Structure 1
Amino acid sequence: MKARRVAVAGGGWAGCAAAVELARAGCDVTLLESARTLGGRARRVELDGRQLDNGQHIMLGAYSESLRVMKLAGVDIQSAVLSLPLQMRYAPGAGGMDFLAPRLPAPLHLLGALLRASGLAREDKMALARFSTTARWMDWRLNTDCSVDELLARFDQTPRLIQLMWRPLCLAALNTPTERASAQVFLNVLRDSLGSRRKASDMLIPRADLSALFPDAAAACIARHGGAVHTGAKVTGLAPLPGQRWQLTATGSALGGAPAGAAQSPRGAPWTAEFDAVVLAHGAPATTALLRTLQLDAAGEQLATQLEAFTPEAITTCYLQYGADVRLDIPFYALLDNPATGHWGQFVFDRGQLDAKQAGLLAVVISASGAAAELGQAALSAAIAAQLAAVLRRPELAQPSWSRVITEKRATYACSPGLARPANALPGQSSLAGLYLAGDYTAGDYPATLESAVRSGVAAAKTLLASKHA
């Protein structure tokens, strides 16, 4: 049979995962990404001649689909990431704690971490043990979703444990403050990491930049299977065709060599091509904008309205360059953030321990960073440098030789209680039949993470392959 022609609009992690699955299944795949670099909201950027990421990330051993598709694309996982045991470690003397899980089978690794943890009082440790026991007894499920704050109060968690453990974990995983974060989604993350096998709770820190970690390898995999990848190619329109097929319009200077079957046009001019199915793998706002170009029926209008309800949350990463001899004692520390005192940073990473070419480079992460980003580049980087100097008791860190702040304003969406998320397949009898959704905002257990995006891309591909469009 002739291979079905499928377009994947969006070259983030969801789009790359969908395209890899479809290409390996024998589809004729065309992947289009408006940016020059694949990766979407987790990608490589070039700043002052340096190749960095638009945000520092931590993955988990529970990221089973991410690790699987990375391997399918040819990524050597052991060399691509640094694997560390579960930990929440603050700098000595900074008023935090030192929580480090030993390499023991679950749940002994958590018990060992709890017994050895310093900086926690007996009541804090009892509260943590109570939380884990109760959550397991509840099978990590709530009858009615609520905020993480409400969940922690219900489980009688101590203020210190909330400050040092639960709040930072919630911010890192959901990028949403505890007072308005979904308790059920938070429990889902804990279930598959703290509540699963020991290896699932391991923390995986990328050594390579985020585009090299998977999207670049995905592009090579797609090409090996006869597909095409076009960066600098913005999808600007969709039009339905008979038989639930679709015409796609795109623009971009890179489209001089358009996919086979595309209408011939001068380099940089709009081109059109017909496809048997289209996977929309942009974020919720860009997907909504494309849908709004169509004549929507009731089902389509309901979907567009649903996507417009997603509220963006920002993540900020501040890079600070010091001398090559500057090094942290461990690959990363948690930081006590306190905006009232100018302490915005929540985690600091020693990039030199991940990549020798980045010796002396520290990356400081601020989740749900809307207020911090309003300070501006100079003020925020100075505040973070001062925070590091004070917390790590190293005055020289107050004067980096170079610094840069990157804020991804739409890094995620606010993961609020009871948030309705759409399915990958659109209603078969609606005006949108033949379109599929892939993105971290689609229905699933996880918040807006790399794993959620990859799972969505894989689910979209499998749904498409099981339909008459493939």
Structure 2
Amino acid sequence: MSAPSRNVAVVGGGWAGCAAAVELARRGAAVTLFEQARTLGGRARGVEVHGRTLDNGQHILLGAYKHTLALFRRVGVDPARVLLRLPLQMRYPAGSGGMDFVAPRLPAPWHMMVALVRATGLARADKMAMARFSTAARWMGWQLDDDVSVSVLLDRFEQTPRLQRLMWHPLCLAALNTAPERASANVFLAVLRDSLGAKRAASDMLIPRLELGALLPQAAGRYLEARGGSVRSGAKAETLARTAAGWELAASGQALGGAWRGVFDAVVLATPPAQAATLLAPFAEAAGLAAQLHAFEHEPIATCYLQYGPDLRLPLPFCALLDAPGRRHFGQFVFDRGQLDPGQAGLLAVVVSAAGEAAALDQETLARGIAAQLDAAFPGLGLAAPQWQRVITEKRATFACTPGLARPANATVLAGLVLAGDYTAGDYPATLESAVRSGEAAAAIILRGDASSAKNGSLSHAGGKPGADSVT
């Protein structure tokens, strides 16, 4: 079905907005994409650091990211070229006191069974606990009737302290960006379903070789413009109003020549929740939705970049780290960017999820603590004194993924206006795949012409029945 007469504004050029714009353009709509920043990408974008473009945060995709991988191909990006594919793994530096768990290239479920048997750094009791938990989770459909915290879930299934420390807690932080004590067990189970419980290829880890802007947003912008659409970067949406002709959008920005107004048949709000709530504020019937959007709690992510000599090479492209916040060792994963992009030789990226405590430190103190952590994890490499370091903190990187969290549907009570974003209803946390799926779902509602809660409902809850397929 095409919609050549539909004139649609997409407000927000993050991954959800880009996905919505591409899907609308692909099916014949006339699309104008508005992005407040100078570049597309939203919270997954490139920033300039020491004369080079680096990501504002390090991401890992999964082979199960079907919608994201299909979108790459649609806009002319070859996943095999831009992503490093590795088997599912949780590997710590040798001798650091961690574990080494790698799924071999075998069909499911044998890849996980063999990985568990071969894993080092885990005692027999740890392995038995993990096997029992995986079996029980599969038996119950990777879902609880009543959502609880991840910590309660792990205790309920008698997971050993060491297994929690080395496997479950890092996975929870990486996937949900929420501490296990307050993270949703049902969302965590959905992540495990598509990693530990998935087919082997679906469980593969995919690490971007390119900065995130070049990975999708830039290609999406070119795709949109090639199909007659328009990308308005540096354009801030100020207000929305309903008129007899449709939705009137007022925006401003140098790219628009100052104040600007335009009328559209439909609007996709692909902005962060608080900004969407502000645009919805004038509409009394959307007061409940606006309040819900304002109520979202958020969690920060910090990424510490440390530059060493170009000959530096870690034993692995990425590995887990034993954190110790009391010693200012906040790093949870380290990525050797030189093994992903030869132009970044000697550059390490260390990720701190749920980074509230770390983000409270000044950049110099945090970077110095992480450098000391790396030096202890990789003795002999001289990592205590980098040539330069830079901490990039996204203070509102994701929503806090807590048990039973109510998340809004794409459709709203306002006909012709829909939401798109990784925070909308679904059983996955805030990820690139959930953003892409939400954008495509928003586009589908507009193309059907039923963007009203009268047909679609206005609220949903995390931890509901799974969608078509799942991702981390």
Note whether the superposition's TM-score is higher than 0.5: yes
- Aligned residue pairs total 450
Deviations 1:386-426 (A, max 9, x none): 11001111351101001100000010010000000111011
Question: Aligned with 1:82: secondary structure?
Answer: strand
Which of 212, 215, 218 is equivalent to 1:213?
215
Matching residue of 2:468: none
Quote how far apart the aligned CAs of 1:107 are. Answer: 0.6
Deviations 1:315-364 (A, max 9, x none): 00000000000010110110011101221100000000000000000000
Deviations 1:4-62 (A, max 9, x none): 10000000000000000000000000001000111100001111211100001111111
Question: Aligned with 2:271: secondary structure?
Answer: coil
Cα distance in structure 2, aligned partners of 1:386 and 1:93: 16
Which of 277, 281, 285 is equivalent to 1:288?
277
Matching residue of 2:337: 351
Quote how far apart the aligned CAs of 1:276 are. Answer: 0.1
Cα distance in structure 2, aligned partners of 1:361 and 1:71: 29
Matching residue of 2:314: 328
Matching residue of 2:421: 439
2:416/2:450 contact within 8 Å kept:
no
Matching residue of 2:190: 188
Quote how far apart the aligned CAs of 1:194 are. Answer: 1.6
1:441/1:448 contact within 8 Å kept:
yes
Letter in 2 for 1:253: Q
Cα distance in structure 2, aligned partners of 1:464 and 1:191: 31
Superposition map of 1:50-65 within 5 A: 50-65=52-67
Matching residue of 1:448: 430
2:15/2:435 contact within 8 Å kept:
yes
2:102/2:119 contact within 8 Å kept:
yes
Cα distance in structure 2, aligned partners of 1:64 and 1:445: 16
Cα distance in structure 2, aligned partners of 1:344 and 1:192: 27
Letter in 2 for 1:434: G
Which of 380, 388, 397 is equivalent to 2:383?
397
Cα distance in structure 1, aligned partners of 2:143 and 2:91: 28
Question: Aligned with 2:181: secondary structure?
Answer: helix
Any unmatched runs of 5+ in structure 2? 452-472
Cα distance in structure 1, aligned partners of 2:50 and 2:118: 44
Question: Aligned with 1:400: secondary structure?
Answer: coil
Cα distance in structure 1, aligned partners of 2:284 and 2:22: 30
TM-score, normalization: structure 2? 0.94
Matching residue of 2:464: none
Question: Aligned with 1:38: secondary structure?
Answer: coil
Question: Aligned with 1:301: secondary structure?
Answer: helix
Letter in 1 for 2:276: T
Superposition map of 1:71-86 within 5 A: 71-86=73-88
2:327/2:369 contact within 8 Å kept:
no
Question: Aligned with 2:151: secondary structure?
Answer: helix
Deviations 1:168-222 (A, max 9, x none): 0000000000000000000111112221211111000000100111111100110
Superposition map of 1:32-431 within 5 A: 32-242=34-244, 245-255=246-256, 267=257, 269-292=258-281, 294-297=282-285, 300-394=286-380, 396-427=382-413
Cα distance in structure 2, aligned partners of 1:273 and 1:48: 39
Question: Aligned with 1:181: secondary structure?
Answer: coil
Cα distance in structure 2, aligned partners of 1:197 and 1:88: 17
Deviations 1:122-180 (A, max 9, x none): 00000010011000100111110000001001111000000000000000000000000
Question: Aligned with 2:299: secondary structure?
Answer: strand
Question: Aligned with 2:93: secondary structure?
Answer: coil
Cα distance in structure 2, aligned partners of 1:193 and 1:250: 42
Letter in 2 for 1:7: A
2:88/2:195 contact within 8 Å kept:
no
2:4/2:30 contact within 8 Å kept:
no
Matching residue of 2:467: none
**1:20 correspondence with 2:22:** yes
Quote how far apart the aligned CAs of 1:2 are. Answer: 4.9
- Distance change >3 Å, CA 83–CA 2, structure 1 → 2: closer
Letter in 2 for 1:21: E
Question: Aligned with 2:23: secondary structure?
Answer: helix
Quote how far apart the aligned CAs of 1:468 are. Answer: 5.5
Quick one: percent identity of the two aligned structures? 64
Question: Aligned with 1:398: secondary structure?
Answer: coil
Cα distance in structure 2, aligned partners of 1:308 and 1:450: 22
Cα distance in structure 2, aligned partners of 1:439 and 1:192: 21
Cα distance in structure 2, aligned partners of 1:395 and 1:20: 45
Quote how far apart the aligned CAs of 1:463 are. Answer: 1.1
Any unmatched runs of 5+ in structure 1? 256-266
Which of 435, 439, 444 is equivalent to 1:462?
444
